[in-house]
């Protein structure tokens, strides 16, 4: 596991450089979800693939940017699902973006994820690693990731990050989001899952939601690359992650690119989500 963490750290330093120097242009290629990829996405994908494919314990890599997963080493024991540059369209307006990694054994199911990690490229580069029940924060300082602290959520926060097109929200979902605002919660939503969830984790709690909507009943965020990794981080930090009714880590995707509605938060907010969605 240590070698995987080191490979992720090396990738993160290379990606940070790529973000800093790269011209932002659109390539002709489309990713498996049919979106036009930024050249930067492709570059970040290649960087991570290169670093992780040198690690002997890696069996398979699956990238958000590629339709199919890739066998690296048949004797390896870990499968890694990653989103090389989540929220990449935010780079051209200079907002924070991130890379997300889920480390699995046997298959890409929530139950078989054993570690997860994300990197935030903001004014500073930070890395969060969840393993063996702990969530650790590291800060990039002069070429090294220095341990900062463990992350623990409070029982209740005060931030509300509601994703999805509001016009397409179900009325009960809107009511629930409004109920948090009426209770004094403050809006914090940049459109980048990594910085938005990082903020909730570091400020002690709150709710990030990306629900099923009339145009996207299964939500937008991908289980293997986005939802499961953050679910493990929220659970280990003392919070929870559900799809409205059930724990997202109990889900089994049919395909590596499947999506799911998702809610991440501290316990108080997640209980409210459950109460709301149980009635549906
Ligand atoms: P991409 O996979 O297209 O980068 O989308 C992921 C994402 O940008 C998340 O980081 C973010 O939480 C969400 O989409 C924002 O979606 P929306 O703009 O619909 O609120």
Residue in the structure block whose two tokens are 């890739």: 70
In this predicted structure, what is the pLDDT of residue 258?
97
In this predicted structure, what is the pLDDT of residue 21?
80
In this predicted structure, what is the pLDDT of residue 33?
62
Q: What string of DSSP letters covers 144-155?
A: EEEEEEE----S
In this predicted structure, what is the pLDDT of residue 23?
64
Task: Measure 164 CA to ligand 1 centroid, in angstroms.
Answer: 9
Ligand 1 contact via 87 beta carbon (within 6 Å): yes
In a mutational test of the pocket of ligand 1, which residue from 221, 223, 241 has the highest number of ligand atoms less than 8 Å from its CB? 221
Contact (Cβ atoms closer than 8 angstroms) between residue 266 and residue 252: no
Task: Measure 66 CA to ligand 1 centroid, in angstroms.
Answer: 17
Backbone angles phi, psi at 208, to 5 degrees: -115, 125
Integer Cα distance of 67 and 73 in angstroms: 19
Ligand 1 contact via 33 beta carbon (within 6 Å): no
Integer Cα distance of 50 and 134 in angstroms: 28
How many C-beta atoms surround the C-beta of residue 189 within 10 A?
A: 15
Tell me which residues of the chain have a pLDDT lower than 50: none
């Amino acid at each position: 596991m240590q070698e995987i963490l080191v490979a992720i750290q090396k990738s993160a330093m290379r990606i940070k450089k790529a973000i800093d120097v790269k011209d932002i242009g659109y390539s002709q290629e489309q990713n498996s979800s049919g979106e036009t990829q930024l050249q930067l996405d492709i570059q970040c994908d290649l960087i991570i693939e290169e670093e992780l494919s040198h690690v002997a314990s890696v069996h398979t890599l699956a990238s958000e940017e590629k339709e199919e997963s890739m066998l690296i080493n048949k004797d390896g024991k870990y499968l890694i699902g990653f989103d090389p540059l989540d929220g990449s369209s935010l780079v051209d307006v200079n907002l924070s973006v991130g890379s997300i990694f889920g480390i699995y054994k046997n298959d890409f199911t929530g139950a078989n994820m054993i570690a997860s990690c994300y990197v935030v490229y903001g004014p500073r580069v930070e890395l969060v690693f969840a393993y063996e029940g702990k969530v650790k924060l590291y800060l990039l300082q002069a070429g090294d990731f220095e341990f900062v602290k463990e992350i623990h959520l409070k029982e209740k926060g005060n931030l509300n990050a509601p994703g999805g097109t509001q016009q397409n929200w179900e009325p009960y979902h809107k009511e629930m989001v409004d109920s948090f605002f009426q209770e004094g919660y403050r809006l914090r939503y940049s459109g980048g899952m990594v910085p938005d969830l990082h903020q909730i984790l570091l400020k002690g709690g709150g709710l990030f939601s990306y629900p099923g909507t009339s145009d996207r009943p299964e939500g937008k965020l991908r289980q293997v690359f986005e939802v499961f990794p953050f679910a493990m981080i929220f659970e280990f930090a003392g919070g929870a992650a559900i799809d409205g009714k059930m724990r997202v880590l109990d889900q089994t995707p049919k395909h590596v690119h499947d999506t799911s509605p998702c809610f991440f938060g501290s316990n108080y907010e997640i209980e409210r989500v459950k109460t709301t969605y149980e009635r549906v």
